[in-house]
Amino acid sequence: MKALSLQSIGHLELVDLPKPRPAADQLLIRTAAATICTSDLNDIRENPFGIQLPVVMGHEAAGVVADVGKSVQGFKVDDRVATHPVHPCQKCEQCRAGRAHLCTNMGHFGLNMQGTFAEYYLVRADRARRLADSVDLATATLAEPVCVCLQALAQAKAAAGSNLLIIGDGPFSLIMARSAAGMGLSQVVLAGRHDFRLSRAGGATTLNLRNAPDPLSLLSSSSPAGGFDAVIATVGAIEAVQWGLELLRPKGRLVLFAAMPGQSPVDLFRVHVKELEIVGACNDEDRFDHAVRLLADEQLKLHELITHRLPWQQYEQAFSLAANRHDAALKVTLIWDNEAAR
């Protein structure tokens, strides 16, 4: 089979590999679509997690069951499925404590498992979900991004009637904004730097900070009286943290969804006097079923966030679009099986 392998930093190459065979608890998936994630771009550029190379990249994918491990129940050949890249070990302290998303020994597509930029990949059957016919398989590649966005909203304690500021306008921010609107929040504000991306924010109020002489005062102008209930920082920029702490109401919550580079100087005085909470959000806590329901939600129109669908043969162009065209591209998807991805 054909696959895209990161051979060394900066070198993503098309390779030929034997088609994998499922273990007893696995499904073999014939890839229909696999979407490029910011983390793929980071891995290609600098491999920040020190992944052992070479590795077949990719983790956001969906496809059709091609073979079923002998102890798997509930799936059959030709089922259309979404898959989740995170495979908790189910044995470690975190897994046994019900925090499988923080497993210290997890398998993950494209890190220590074969990734999804390939004609076929393996998934443990508990990390796959059958899809409604109405969900196309390119949109279904967003299952895990939707999962982690739901986690961020849960960490923000987003609920009907509450308000939320999201700082950052990448695809994850847009998924959060759309999902939050669907949860009945009274106000969702999304602040970013690209008009094109901000235009895809669903019902959220949007602010472009790019040319603002004083971004904080622009953000303040959209703040509810007393401040925001929660702020989610989806960009790895310390300003987002500083603005968030400034704009939260007393007892508000700041969610760190992005990795902040290096040591971060933060004004903790505000945390002290406003009794703020600062929490992280990274992987998701069992939100796969919810995410699969949202993929089929006609109101959220998550399919709109996939702006480009390219045949896998055009992978160089696809990665370049995802890396460089923030003015025109959100999620860029490689189509591996035209028939199935329709």
143 binds Zn ion (CB under 5 A): no
Of 62, 66, 81, 95, which one interacts with Zn ion (CB under 5 A)?
95
Q: Concatenated DSSP letters for 270-309? A: HHHHHT-EEEE--S-SS-HHHHHHHHT-TTT-GGGGEEEE
Spatial distance between the Cα atoms of 123 and 299, rounded to a whole number of angstroms:
30
Q: Which residue's CB is nearer to Zn ion, number 143 or number 219? A: 143
Contact indicator for 163, 187 with CB cutoff of 8 Å: yes
37 binds Zn ion (CB under 5 A): yes
Q: Which residue's CB is nearer to Zn ion, number 95 or number 122? A: 95
Q: Which residue's CB is nearer to Zn ion, number 177 or number 207? A: 177
- Smallest gap, in angstroms, from Cβ of residue 7 to Zn ion? 21
138 binds Zn ion (CB under 5 A): no
89 binds Zn ion (CB under 5 A): yes
To which residue do tokens 């989610």 refer?
232
Q: By CB under 5 A, which span of 95-103, 194-202, 219-227, 255-263 interacts with Zn ion?
A: 95-103
- Smallest gap, in angstroms, from Cβ of residue 105 to Zn ion? 5
3-class secondary structure for 38-83? HHHHHHHHHCCCCCCCCEECCCEEEEEEEEECCCCCCCCCCCEEEE
- Smallest gap, in angstroms, from Cβ of residue 58 to Zn ion? 9
Contacts of 7 (CB under 8 A, 6+ apart): 13, 53, 54
Q: By CB under 5 A, which span of 99-107, 111-119, 155-163, 277-285 interacts with Zn ion?
A: 99-107
- Smallest gap, in angstroms, from Cβ of residue 102 to Zn ion? 8
Spatial distance between the Cα atoms of 9 and 48, rounded to a whole number of angstroms:
10
Q: Which two tokens stand for residue 273?
A: 């006097």
Q: Which residue's CB is nearer to Zn ion, number 5 or number 116? A: 116
- Smallest gap, in angstroms, from Cβ of residue 89 to Zn ion? 3
- Smallest gap, in angstroms, from Cβ of residue 253 to Zn ion? 24
To which residue do tokens 């999201």 refer?
166
Size of the site for Zn ion (CB under 5 A): 7
Which of positions 69-88 make contact with Zn ion (CB under 5 A)? 88
Of 23, 44, 92, 296, which one interacts with Zn ion (CB under 5 A)?
92
282 binds Zn ion (CB under 5 A): no
Pick the closest to residue 187 from 154, 151, 230, 157 (CA basis): 230
Which residues make beta-bridge pairs with 254? Answer: 231, 278
DSSP H/E element including 220? helix 215-221
- Backbone phi and psi for residue 89, each to the nearest 5 degrees, phi listed first: -75, -20
- Smallest gap, in angstroms, from Cβ of residue 88 to Zn ion? 5
103 binds Zn ion (CB under 5 A): yes
Spatial distance between the Cα atoms of 255 and 230, rounded to a whole number of angstroms:
8
- Residues in contact with Zn ion by the rule CB under 5 A: 37, 88-89, 92, 95, 103, 105
